[in-house]
Structure 1
Amino acid sequence: MARIILPFLALLAVLDVTQAQRPGAASFVVPTAFPTSVFSSYYVKAAPTNEPQPAIHDPVLNITYPLNLTNPETIPLADLDPVYYPPAIANFSEVTSEALVKLALAEINSIIYESGGLSGNCSKCIAALSVGKMLAQTVPSYVPAAMVSLCQSTGFASNSSCQTSYGAGNFGAIWTQVLALADVTGLDGRYICNTLSTTFCSVPTTSPLNVTSLFPKPKPKNATAPKASGNLVKVLHLSDFHLDARYSVASEANCSSGLCCRYSAASTSQAVFPAPLYGAYKCDTPYFLGLSALQSIASLTGTGDTCSSPAWTIYTGDLVSHDPENEMSQAYVEYTETSIYSMFKSYIKGPVFAVLGNHDSSPENIDAPHKLPGPLGQQFSWNYEHLSGLWLNNGWIDVATAKEAATHYGGYSVKNHLGLRIITVNTDFWYRSNYLNYINMTNPDVSGMLAWLINELQGAEDAGERVWIIGHVLSGWSGTNPLVDPTNLFYQIVDRYSPHVIANTFWGHTHEDQVMIYYSNNGTVMNSSTAQTPGWIGPSVTPLTNLNSGFRMYEVDTGSFDIYEAYTFYSDVNAYSTLNATGPTYQFEYSTRDAYGAAAGWPTTAPLNATFWHGVTEAMVTNRSLVTTFNTYQGKSSIKSPNCTSDACAEAKICYMRAGSASLGKNCSQGFDSVQSPYTGKNF
């Protein structure tokens, strides 16, 4: 009898441990029935052969968005939003304006082809910019068409790409502002030319940063963080939803360019891989998938009742799908913001603290410093006012905070009900694809956002508060997404106020499960004693590109606001094409402490802080199986993720994890940062 009972008791012990390693159910199978009660009315109801078209009512603008905005068969192809040009220095007649354009294009062509054509040196590009600047200051409204013409005539890109990049309603008016206002013969010009093509100018190196008088007070000696209370609460982390309200079931899901799963008569009738109802690896999030993720949260995280609901939720940006720019509009952005935040309100109890992502604007990626002249400094206020109004309407922030967000580029600082100060920042102001950043690159904080952040952190230090910083575009990792000078400044700010004030930072944007570590003294020495603050990069709900869908939950101490456990969940997108009797399955993927703690020699009672993560990177140096594990989780266990088995890959991953700024990330070997193979260089 003992031979039967003892093994059975041992099995029970294992099962108990397994249950203890996750906060809720091991998996959740989504019901096939679409949860129609989420929206009050529909233009087109959901069916097994089509996505729904809900009639979205905007409580801020008090409008209901029309069906043709999102109907897959009637996507608007012309952006009719207002465009903004820099002020002209004089008024010219049409004849004179056209003559100026003709002369300018001839001069630029002469510069380009005088020796070697487009692949010339940096000085040629800057000389061409100088001609463009003259044109942008004299006849700005003519510049977009001139840029399209020049792009097409030189073969710089395809005709359609030239129009998408430089058409007035796309990025043409933005580039006109840049040309008119930037110092094209100085640092600005070198950045612009490098952005146009790395063959024109090499990327500028990090500029020296003068930290004299940067901070109101010196860092207190022997400053310590508050002690842990021993009381843990659950905090949800969602990121990169990228709702595709125009998703077309049965269209081509394996297209060769652009966003797949989009309607066309040919793609729907001749699809080699018909788009499944719930999504695919080269597509953004259809309604069926987005709501499946939200339906699974309560069961998987154990937050299904009032007593165990999330204490709060963070959302690290990107709501809008990856549409071509000519299909984008302010209305489409506002529709998506309204729809997703209403879905969050339906499924997530407690406040949601959100940030603006680079795709949550029109044109995408672009935000303007308030210092730009005239109406240019307020050209994106429509978005900040709309977002802050939605957050206020959902009861997540109060009136004063909403006003702050409306005037601070969507960023705000708020103390939550448990005493944690949450500061959200608009990181488009260090994103390389925000072209307006190339105006006055000698100032790493041209928007004033980081000066505002310093003031908020100083106030938190004076009040003895702990802080979480939340942004979208990460400040470091491989250094390919952000600009070096603003993130170098941010790194100094984190150094000054860590670890006694800043407990954690949180990011999105890459769609992958990653982490960064911030060290003291600008990362000049990286060891366990200099590791100060972790940067948690949240996995995306969208599968784009070649990733599974996922989200994360933290267990957070209410005294120190350190993280003591992190659980990640995912759904296997590869299985969606075979679903029949059920919806997708979301399941527990891993516990951060269980995955890395023992290998790093980390005490079971210590928080998962920067020292923990540095210990993980040290263990990875000798234990390459940890690198393999990290690489698997980076893609949310996607079958599409390439292996990381070479020494070069392992060393690069470790380097990225230790790189909290773009300048540090650029010092790492490049090419191993993403698992979205065979993709590289995507504008997320």
Structure 2
Amino acid sequence: MLFPLFAISGLAAGQTIVSQLHNQTNANFNNTPAYQQALAAAVNATTHASDCDSCFSILRVLKSVAELGEAPFAELSVAFCKATHEADPDVCDGLQTLEAPSVSWALRQMDIPSRTAQVFCEALYGLCPQPPVLNYTVPFPRPKPANATRPKVSRLEPIRVVHISDMHVDHTYTIGSSYNCSKSICCRPYNATFAPGSELASLYPAAPYGEYYCDTPVDLEESQYAGIDEFAGDRAFVISTGDMVEGFTWGTSDNEIVADVSDIYHRMRQSLEVVYPAIGNHDANPVNSFPPAGLETPYNNTYDYNTHAQLWKHWIGAEAAEQVRSHSGMYSTTYTSYTGACLRIISINTMFWEGVNWWIYSTVMSRDPSGVLAFLVQQLQLAEDNGERAWIIGHIPPGRSDALYDYSSYLDQVVQRYDGTIAAMYWGHTHRDQFEVSHSHPTDQTAANANMVGYIAPSLTPTSGNPNFRAYSVDPVTFGILDYTVYSANLSAADYHTTGPKWAEYYTFKTAYGSLLDPPYIDPLDEMTPAFMHNVTTLFQINDTAFQEYYDRKQRGWTPVGYGPCTGDCKTDEICQLRSSQSQYACMTPSAAIKKREAGGERVLHARVESECSSSRMVGVLHAMARDLETVMAVL
């Protein structure tokens, strides 16, 4: 997930500046004294902001700029981005202009101060804590049946299901370009500095099958399909939890998104017989931009939903494809195993609970934007009535800091109501190999009250680790997970780029962790129940070797410069996250990843630290602003 670069631009409060801004016209705004004063005030306010009140002061003036129109807002944010050198000029121009409409819209809707403003401040700056969850009861057609329990496994021959995620296929990946660059993804000939034959590219040449810090070349994508055939040729189907498109977020267009996802799904269709996909935050233009249904705005994602509906129709059927069009990218379909048991697969659009989807910040935020919860409840009730089991698939895990507290909590209400019907949930987005355990008492988590597992798949893209995919062993009647194996291709292998990726078993969950429990839990036909998964987190508390092995596997087998063991607060927070399917209980403090660049535009190759083990994002931003203050003032 990328935070918009304009998030760094804060504006000082002050009635003089506000009134001056209101007196300007849209034309030539960047040549006016008010523009120059606002830019200078932005540096000052952001450098000294430290709490919610400071953030509200910033928002008041940001709102004043937004009320002048999208163009002035975009101009100011682009200028600030360039002045602070937080990104290359082309990145500033592209990303700020793409995201300005949604942010300026949100600011114009916003009362300051307000609960919405507080949520916005947390997502934008990390200055405010998210407010407590707003009391809301999700409506259900019927109460939970008294006999709703998790069924016992059948002990029949399992089926296999493959889980892929975050492929981020880059159709512009160029062999011989530099894999060390000043952008968020490399291995592209952005300019002569990074193109094949340049001095930098000669030092860091991109090889055919992918590089760390780069997104996925088509050859690696096709290699994954071959690996799936080799190790899971007996699969029943594949689930894909979103983010097909590469991370070139500052240069996307509607047409490019359509072309990219079309190419990827056409190749996937040639290789994988049955796939049940979900949409990711990168699978639209611009990134993270998903206006809720019914919102009055000239921007909408109709083109995106229509495209995915057409591309998925072959796998999910005509009725489900029509749901994709009419329900903001969501659908429900069924799979019947060789036993005759029926599984309902419900794919939801998780971007309506994402904190950086600026279109959800209406004056009073909806309790269920785009009817995600209503659709999910409708389909789960249908499954319960029909005696079906259900899987929920989506992109963003509800226990991550990306998920706003309210919506994560409301989803948990649905999980608690239908925990006898839902067999498991499946997510992506983090690029890491993880899981989340839900509990009926989230503030008193025990194995006895663990009642659901969310499986978070590692990614194909090698930006921060080796390419991975999972294969689950699944009970053919209950559709509970019995075990899973992760398969990996080691980019660091000496022959990786000469003979191509060699996919191999990385580890199997029960062998790695179930064997260490007392007593061991390794029967291949026993379910990895929520209680078992909770017990694994307890194992991590008392067995540090097992935990560190988990943490290394979570990182997908890559140990970049600066990487070290996860100890102390890092370990405590990591285990807390594994036990939390609600973001309000996940022990995560959002933080900014400030990338330091060397002279000549090179980025230092260093470990990318995740938010759970680093400081708040605003601390890093404030330090960057303070370092660049003289430079910013020099351009005013």
Amino acid at match of 2:49: S
Shift of 1:132: 4.4
Cα distance in structure 2, aligned partners of 1:225 and 1:517: 15
Please name the residue that 1:14 is paired with: none
Asked if 1:260 corresponds to 2:186, the answer is yes
Please name the residue that 2:460 is paired with: 541
**Cα distance change, pair 527–552 in 1 and its aligned pair in 2 (3 A):** same
Q: Deviations over 1:631-665 (max 9, x none)?
A: 12212222439343534333232211101111111
Shift of 1:405: 0.7
| Pairing partner for 2:507 from 581, 586, 590 | 590
**Cα distance change, pair 137–253 in 1 and its aligned pair in 2 (3 A):** closer
**Cα distance change, pair 123–682 in 1 and its aligned pair in 2 (3 A):** closer
Three-state SS of the structure 1 residue aligned to 2:259 is helix
| Pairing partner for 2:290 from 367, 371, 380 | 367
Shift of 1:403: 0.8
**Cα distance change, pair 401–287 in 1 and its aligned pair in 2 (3 A):** same
Instruction: Determine which structure has more spread, i.e. the larger CA radius of gyration.
Output: 1
Shift of 1:164: 3.9
Asked if 1:664 corresponds to 2:591, the answer is no
Please name the residue that 1:568 is paired with: 486
User: Superposition pairs for residues 141-156 of structure 1, below 5 Å?
Assistant: 141-149=71-79
Cα distance in structure 2, aligned partners of 1:669 and 1:113: 22
Native 8 Å contact 2:186 2:213 kept in 1 = yes
Amino acid at match of 2:175: V
Three-state SS of the structure 1 residue aligned to 2:461 is coil
Q: Deviations over 1:15-45 (max 9, x none)?
A: xxxxxxxxxxxxxxxxxxxxxxxxxxxxxxx
Q: Deviations over 1:379-416 (max 9, x none)?
A: 11100010011111xx2022111110112121111122
Please name the residue that 2:344 is paired with: 421
User: Superposition pairs for residues 422-571 of structure 1, below 5 Å?
Assistant: 422-440=345-363, 442-476=365-399, 479-498=400-419, 500-521=420-441, 523-545=442-464, 547-571=465-489
Asked if 1:390 corresponds to 2:305, the answer is no
Amino acid at match of 2:447: S
Cα distance in structure 2, aligned partners of 1:465 and 1:382: 33
| Pairing partner for 1:627 from 538, 543, 547 | 547
Asked if 1:174 corresponds to 2:97, the answer is no
**Cα distance change, pair 216–105 in 1 and its aligned pair in 2 (3 A):** farther
| Pairing partner for 2:246 from 321, 330, 343 | 321
Cα distance in structure 1, aligned partners of 2:550 and 2:388: 33
**Cα distance change, pair 639–161 in 1 and its aligned pair in 2 (3 A):** closer
Cα distance in structure 2, aligned partners of 1:388 and 1:506: 20
Asked if 1:216 corresponds to 2:160, the answer is no
User: Superposition pairs for residues 12-27 of structure 1, below 5 Å?
Assistant: none
Shift of 1:124: 4.8
Q: Deviations over 1:97-154 (max 9, x none)?
A: 4499958758857976898965365435434534544554564454322443566678
Native 8 Å contact 2:589 2:611 kept in 1 = no
Cα distance in structure 2, aligned partners of 1:295 and 1:223: 41
Bigger drift between 352-361 and 254-263 goes to 254-263
| Pairing partner for 1:206 from 126, 132, 143 | 132
Please name the residue that 2:5 is paired with: none
Native 8 Å contact 2:249 2:286 kept in 1 = no
**Cα distance change, pair 524–114 in 1 and its aligned pair in 2 (3 A):** closer
Native 8 Å contact 1:209 1:489 kept in 2 = no
Please name the residue that 1:295 is paired with: 226
Native 8 Å contact 2:95 2:249 kept in 1 = no
Cα distance in structure 1, aligned partners of 2:68 and 2:592: 43
Native 8 Å contact 2:328 2:370 kept in 1 = no
Cα distance in structure 1, aligned partners of 2:43 and 2:185: 36
Native 8 Å contact 2:471 2:486 kept in 1 = yes
Native 8 Å contact 1:597 1:603 kept in 2 = yes
Cα distance in structure 2, aligned partners of 1:381 and 1:603: 47
Bigger drift between 660-669 and 426-435 goes to 660-669
Amino acid at match of 1:679: R
Native 8 Å contact 2:216 2:460 kept in 1 = yes
Please name the residue that 1:411 is paired with: 330
Native 8 Å contact 1:317 1:354 kept in 2 = yes
**Cα distance change, pair 453–441 in 1 and its aligned pair in 2 (3 A):** farther
Shift of 1:668: 8.1
Q: Deviations over 1:588-611 (max 9, x none)?
A: 111111111122232614201211
TM-score (ref. length: structure 1):
0.76
Q: Deviations over 1:525-550 (max 9, x none)?
A: 211111111111111111112x0011
Amino acid at match of 1:565: D
| Pairing partner for 1:339 from 239, 242, 263 | 263
Shift of 1:458: 2.0
Cα distance in structure 1, aligned partners of 2:383 and 2:160: 23
Cα distance in structure 2, aligned partners of 1:329 and 1:374: 18
Amino acid at match of 1:207: V
5+ residue gaps, structure 2: 1-22, 594-604, 613-636
Please name the residue that 2:616 is paired with: none
Three-state SS of the structure 2 residue aligned to 1:621 is helix
Three-state SS of the structure 2 residue aligned to 1:542 is coil
RMSD (Å), alpha carbons: 3.1
Amino acid at match of 1:183: D
Three-state SS of the structure 1 residue aligned to 2:163 is strand
Cα distance in structure 1, aligned partners of 2:178 and 2:39: 41
**Cα distance change, pair 174–472 in 1 and its aligned pair in 2 (3 A):** same
Three-state SS of the structure 2 residue aligned to 1:343 is helix
Native 8 Å contact 1:576 1:584 kept in 2 = no
**Cα distance change, pair 133–671 in 1 and its aligned pair in 2 (3 A):** closer
Shift of 1:372: 1.3
When the two structures are aligned, how many residues end up with a matched partner?
Answer: 564
Three-state SS of the structure 2 residue aligned to 1:123 is helix
Three-state SS of the structure 1 residue aligned to 2:150 is coil
**Cα distance change, pair 624–228 in 1 and its aligned pair in 2 (3 A):** same
**Cα distance change, pair 164–196 in 1 and its aligned pair in 2 (3 A):** farther
* Paired-residue identity, %: 29
Cα distance in structure 2, aligned partners of 1:402 and 1:616: 39
Three-state SS of the structure 2 residue aligned to 1:448 is helix
Three-state SS of the structure 2 residue aligned to 1:420 is strand
5+ residue gaps, structure 1: 1-93
Cα distance in structure 2, aligned partners of 1:470 and 1:421: 11
**Cα distance change, pair 148–650 in 1 and its aligned pair in 2 (3 A):** closer
Native 8 Å contact 1:166 1:175 kept in 2 = no
Cα distance in structure 2, aligned partners of 1:606 and 1:300: 22
TM-score (ref. length: structure 2):
0.81
Asked if 1:285 corresponds to 2:216, the answer is yes
Shift of 1:237: 0.7
Cα distance in structure 2, aligned partners of 1:241 and 1:589: 18
